[in-house]
Amino acid sequence: MDWNAFLDGFGVVTQPSNLLYCFIGVVIGMLIGVLPGLGPAATMAILLPIAYNADDPVSAIIMLAGIYYGAQYGGTITSVLLRIPGEASSVVTVFDGFALAKQGKAGTALGIAAIGSFVGATISIVGLTLLGPVVAGYALDFGPPEYAALALLGVLLVATVGNGNTVKALVAAAVGLLLATVGSDSFTSADRFTFGSLNLEGGIDFVVVAMGLFGVGEILYNLEERHGKPHVPAAIANIWPSRKDLREAGPAIGRGSLIGFFLGVLPGGGAVMASLAAYAAEKRIAKKPERFGRGAIEGVAGPESANNAAATSSFIPLLTIGIPANASMAMLYAALLVVGVTPGPQLIDERPDLFWGVINSMYIGNLILLLLSIPLVGIFVKILRIRPAILAPITALITILGVYTINNSVFDIFVMIIFGIIGYLMKKTGFEPGPLVLAFVLGSLIESSFRRSMLLFDGDATGFVTRPISGTILAFVVLVIAMPLIRKAFRRDTPEPTSAETEPAPREDSLR
């Protein structure tokens, strides 16, 4: 590890402009976390034009990164006060956070969540600092076969390990892969699925797709879901937890931080899976698991530490290998490409200012979040009372202006509206847009890497298996595909209950 480059990264972050962008990013992230439904991926998609027009790409990436991990803090507030998860990763916080709020301990729950979030994120940043260069060093051995196999594994993990219906996730991922083929073939220059339109020859712009699915789609969905459903936030008493609360929450914070760090690195893992796993672990370890769901402080501490740790560690595969682990990382991936930076193993050597600047900004950003999260709670509660009918038009206007400024194209606005309708229908029918977006991002990487690999192997596909790294990754691909079948086989082998056990007991009046 180059400690001089690491220290120089703090010099980059402490520049006044970068500190300002870091502050703006985490505050926007907290605000977005408080507003249920919008989420960091949608916000980053809306703000991608800022990265495109920024004078310093480092400042823009620092701001977008701050939005991502800042949203994990903000999502807790609505979970505790309104029983509405502001972020998907805060879903499990609802169970015990809102129960504590009903007991008059909303301040305690928010205080523990803020402390756990800071500790989890800090531990994860230290891990990112130490492991990032190591992973980047191994990634230098990656060639087209390894990238093709890794991108395929990423798509499958997102589709099969994430939340929701696996079949629907796979369908969404398949659509994303199909959309990635639209435009001129990079090898033969032949038009594919352009239908004679000159606007589609360059392919569908990722930013337009993302802003449609996440921005417009979420606006439409949230307008319908929240219309006519006013919520009154719970009262907030003392924000600082007692020593007893800290003693109970301490071990949960430690366990959640470790769980979040390791799950955040996995493609398809991320903050949502980490929070669910941490909650399940705390409930399993607890001497009185029946307390969970009724106001157990560990049920807030563990998941909140885990989702913030995972949000940070998910930067490892993005910055070192060039593989986004979740939808929000896909937005950062797009932002890096927009500013002319290709994330991957060469990033640490070619752009150490950006690599270490972004990582070290998280130390400062999380400290800012800890200092802001407590005094700003009252302001965020007031924001929650703003009607969606007022917020939605403002967000829609920003989205339309943002997508137009990318290519100065009205055609992009219509494409965004189409994808916004698709995103709304996906949410209504239980399809998550995340697998589609990630597959769309990784689709071109899979295709180009696969075709280059086939040229390298002279058309012999067994070369993927004979190379050690790509062969190992493909073994994991087979394991991911086989896991549902293995689970079904185990369920079938489970002995069925006997007829005596399943037959209902005779009613008393029939025995008379």
What's the pLDDT at 472?
Answer: 86
Assigned domain for 497 exists = no
Assigned domain for 442 exists = yes
Q: 387-408 pLDDT, tens per residue?
A: 667 767 876 776 777 677 667 7
Region of 195 on the Ramachandran plot (φ > 0 left; ψ -120 to 50 alpha; else beta) = left
Residue 509 confidence class, pLDDT cut points 50, 70, 90: very low
Assigned domain for 256 exists = yes
Assigned domain for 496 exists = no
Least confident of 75-84, 310-319, 464-473: 75-84
Distance (Å, whole) CA 337 – CA 329: 12
Distance (Å, whole) CA 223 – CA 298: 34
What's the pLDDT at 505?
Answer: 46
Provide the domain limits for residue 355: 3-491
Measuring CA to CA, which residue among 384, 377, 319 is closest to residue 135?
319
Q: 84-135 pLDDT, tens per residue?
A: 666 666 767 877 887 887 777 777 888 888 888 888 888 888 888 887 777 6
CA 465 to chain centre: 31
Burial pattern 4-19, b for ≥16 Cβ within 10 A else e, equals eebeebeebbeeeebb
What's the pLDDT at 348?
Answer: 80
Assigned domain for 502 exists = no
Assigned domain for 511 exists = no
Burial pattern 380-417, b for ≥16 Cβ within 10 A else e, equals bbeebeeebeebbeebbebbbebbeebeeeeebbebbb
Cβ(158)–Cβ(438) below 8 Å: yes
Domain count, the chain: 1
Measuring CA to CA, which residue among 270, 280, 329, 335 is closest to residue 303?
280
Mean pLDDT of 482-506: 60
What's the pLDDT at 239?
Answer: 60
Assigned domain for 338 exists = yes
Give me the chain's average pLDDT, please. Answer: 77
Angle at alpha carbon of residue 493, lines to 488 and 499, rounded to 5°: 115
Assigned domain for 38 exists = yes
Mean pLDDT of 498-510: 45
Distance (Å, whole) CA 455 – CA 371: 55
Q: 26-47 pLDDT, tens per residue?
A: 888 888 777 655 667 777 877 7
Residue 83 confidence class, pLDDT cut points 50, 70, 90: low
**Residues with Cβ within 8 Å of residue 84, at least 6 apart in sequence:** 36, 78, 94, 231
Q: Per DSSP, which regions of 126-210 are E strands?
A: 183-184, 191-192
Asked whether the whole model's pTM tops 0.75, one would answer no
Cβ(46)–Cβ(395) below 8 Å: yes
